[in-house]
Amino acid sequence: MKKKIGVVGAGSWGIALAFLLSNNGHDVTVWSRTEASASKLRACHGNEDKLPGVVLDEAVQFTCSMEEAVSGKDIIVLVVPSAHLRETVKLMAPFMGSLSSGEGAPVIVNCTKGIEKSTLMVMSDVILDEIPGANVCVLSGPSHAEEVGKGMPTTIVVGAKDKKTAKLIQNVFMSDVFRVYISPDMLGIEIGAALKNVIALAAGMADGYGLGDNAKAALITRGIAEIARLGLAMGGKFETFSGLSGIGDLVVTCASMHSRNRRAGILIGQGKSMEEAMSEVKMVVEGVYSARAAMALSEKYDVEMPIIKGVNEILFEGKAVGDGIRELMLRDKKIESSALDW
């Protein structure tokens, strides 16, 4: 069934999802922050700066009016940087009407990956904090916008509190090149989505420093172990971290040059400062924003996360990449999995 969908955010991922949803036959309106940016989007029917070569259907609308973007919509897809999520949701709230999770309530699909630094909330909780009663679900998985915008095969997972909502979003997003699984573990999906960006920074640093494939494979493997330890302590499910939004998203983010986090990490590994790396990447590097929050969660839940700790020290305390790697290698001897008996 054709749905009215508002995509809030016109960066690379927002445009890629608008492209997908429009091709699936839905009415799509894309919100951008200013009239100047909306006009530029209308002129080329896409975002030539962030996602060159992807042209959206002529039926797709572009606006800087939040009321136009979200009022009367069946589904709202939130795709803004984590640092701006709360202020964006505040702009949405007056136009959401009387919300409940019952019949007729719009579904908010959160595609923003991160943890709010000041509150340590995952993004769905930030949305609910500003719009109580909203029907929120999450979409995540190994899915670079550059490939989705080209119609390349992609598989993701939707997490929702109830199966009915999950199946609705599964049906809306599913296509012959975009496969959608469903899950009840929203929290686990969001923890994996946020923390993989920090591990990807570490993997990029290893690449930039010239450490080779063995070291990067170790960072990916031990990185998912750290993410799972924290996620389980917070109430996520183990299966989620071995799935698409866990190891799947981590692998693609650590391995691909589409990954802004990996690219920034490579530049830092080559000796550039965090600020220089972010400036050169020219896109939001979510791992930088999530790193401190991840460290705070590690301390709050008393979970050992040496890779996350090392990334924080390199980003914010001036530690050299080589010193951080050496400290990881020289840590006390460990058992790989404490859950296994001899």
Helix (H) or strand (E) holding 125: helix 123-130
Q: Is 319 tagged catalytic?
A: no
pLDDT above 50 (res 35): yes
100: confidence class by pLDDT, cuts 50, 70, 90: very low
Candidate from 50-59, 130-139, 259-268, 279-288 with smallest mean pLDDT:
279-288
Q: Tens digits of per-residue pLDDT, 180-230?
A: 999 999 999 999 999 999 999 999 999 999 999 999 999 999 999 999 999
Tokens of 218: 């170790």
For the chain, what is the mean pLDDT?
93
Catalytic residue among 196, 216, 237, 309: 196
pTM of the entire structure? 0.93
Confidence band, pLDDT 50/70/90 cuts, at residue 341: confident
By the 8 A CB rule, do 268 and 314 touch?
yes
Q: Any idea what DSSP says for residue 204? A: H
- Shortest CA distance to 156 belongs to which of 184, 175, 137, 182? 182
Q: Are 180 and 157 in contact (CB under 8 A)?
A: yes
- Which domains, from first to last, does the chain contain? 4-184 (3.40.50.720), 194-329 (1.10.1040.10)
% of the chain with per-residue pLDDT over 70: 98
Q: With contact defined as beta carbons under 8 Å apart, do 112 and 86 qualify?
A: no
Round to whole Å and give the CA distance between 113 and 272: 25
The whole-angstrom separation of Cα 268 and Cα 260 is 12
For residue 129, give every residue at least 6 positions away whose Cβ sits within 8 Å of its Cβ, in sequence order, or none: 86, 119, 121
- The SS3 of residue 90 is helix
pLDDT given for residue 103 in this prediction? 53
